[in-house]
Copies of this chain bind each other. A is one copy, B any other.
Amino acid sequence: MLVESWRGSFVESRHRVHVAVVDGDGRLVARAGDPDLVTFWRSAAKPFQALPLVADGAADRFGLTSEELAIACASHSSEPRQVELVRAFLKKVGCGERDLLCGPHPPLSEGVAKDYQTRGVRLTAVYSNCSGKHTGMLALARHHGWPTEFYTRPEHPVQQRCLAEVSRWSDVPAQHLGTATDGCGVVCFALPVRNMALAYARLGSARANPAIADFGLGIADSTAESSIRNPQSAIRNIRESMLRHPDLIAGSGRPCTDLMRAHPGRVLAKVGAEGVYSALIMPEGLGLTLKVEDGNSAAAALAIAAVLADLGVKPQPESLTVRAHINSRGDKVGELRVNGGLEK
């Protein structure tokens, strides 16, 4: 599967795409390129990083709403409403903006970025697209009585809990998960695309691998016993919170939001940086993940829409079927479009 960048009637550049589609029983049912490619899951791992919040009882303790759980799973656009939601969430768990360790960056939405620049809004950590995830991590630390300082470090129990959940749902033993530092400073995870797809299928079926679940339990020491009381209902809660709030998962005009809005309750889509994209199709419970080999994000957005369409989820938003190249004179000079599909 390729995403081709056309200029006039010639292909100028090519983006190779690797895809794995896994069903509720964990079988690879479709693929493109190399489904065993190992790469970083980046922000597409967020549902599994938010899971301990619910599984360990922090969501109950703090009375977290479905909006708050959705924003914990989001790469949001820093829209005013999203930033306000994070601020309230922080307050609810007894934290403040200064506890957030995510670095600031321009909003992922060009429109929002331009608006804030015009208005001279100072972009602090709460404006980071990951501020919901970080707030969830602070909530988890508060709940367990772990220090809220240095919660981004690999050895901090918050990161260890996230790693355990990633391992549990992806079927990759913790010692085989690659780790590195994500764009926002927390731990990110390297694993095969196929295992990422498996985890999304399980986000649909809510069935984890018990053997790996036991393995995951070993990590959080004494606190672990009380944690993960009901991972099945926890993952259902995460899934339903995300499905209910497409507008919070990304933001106005961004691909995840457009894909989920086009098929409400049927598609859950979560982008990661560097051309990774995961999705879940309900009620079938098909999990899928793709990686654009070179990390191109625009190509990844077109590719995920094409893969969803290939799996019968149609129509996809027109903006995600083809993307025009406009030059400095405002003329259309070419376009980005998908060539090829899944091998089933």
A-to-B contact residues, CB < 8 Å: 5, 7-16, 38-40, 101-105, 128, 178-185, 188, 190, 274-275, 292-296, 299, 327-331, 333-334
Contacts and interface: CB of A to CB of B under 8 A. Distances in A.
Contact of A178 (B10, B101, B331): B10
B7 A40 contact: yes
A-B pairs with lowest CB-CB distance, top 5: A8-B180, A103-B328, A13-B295, A103-B329, A294-B294
A103 B40 contact: no
B294 A184 contact: no
Contacts of A39: 10-13
A185 B9 contact: no
A185 B15 contact: no
Contact of A15 (B5, B188, B294): B294
Given A5-B295, A296-B294, A327-B103, A333 B183 contact: yes
B13 A38 contact: no
A181 B333 contact: yes
A327 B183 contact: yes
Contacts of A101: 329
7 contacts: A7-B40, A11-B39, A12-B40, A13-B274, A13-B295, A103-B328, A294-B294
Given A40-B7, A274-B5, A293 B329 contact: no
Nearest to A191: B10
Copies in the complex: 2
A175 to B, nearest CB: 14
A128 B184 CA distance: 34
Contact of A295 (B12, B128, B184): B12
Contacts of A182: 327, 333
Contacts of A103: 327-330
Given A10-B180, A103-B327, 11 more contacts: A5-B295, A7-B180, A7-B181, A8-B178, A13-B275, A183-B328, A183-B333, A184-B328, A184-B329, A185-B331, A293-B294
A185 B329 contact: yes
Contacts of A190: 7, 10, 12
Given A101-B329, A102-B328, A179-B8, A13 B184 contact: no
Contacts of A293: 13-14, 294
Contacts of A179: 8
Contacts of A299: 294
A275 to B, nearest CB: 7
A12 B329 contact: no
B178 A104 contact: no
Contacts of A10: 38-40, 178, 180, 190
Nearest to A129: B328
Nearest to A179: B8
Given A40-B7, A102-B328, A294-B14, A333 B184 contact: no
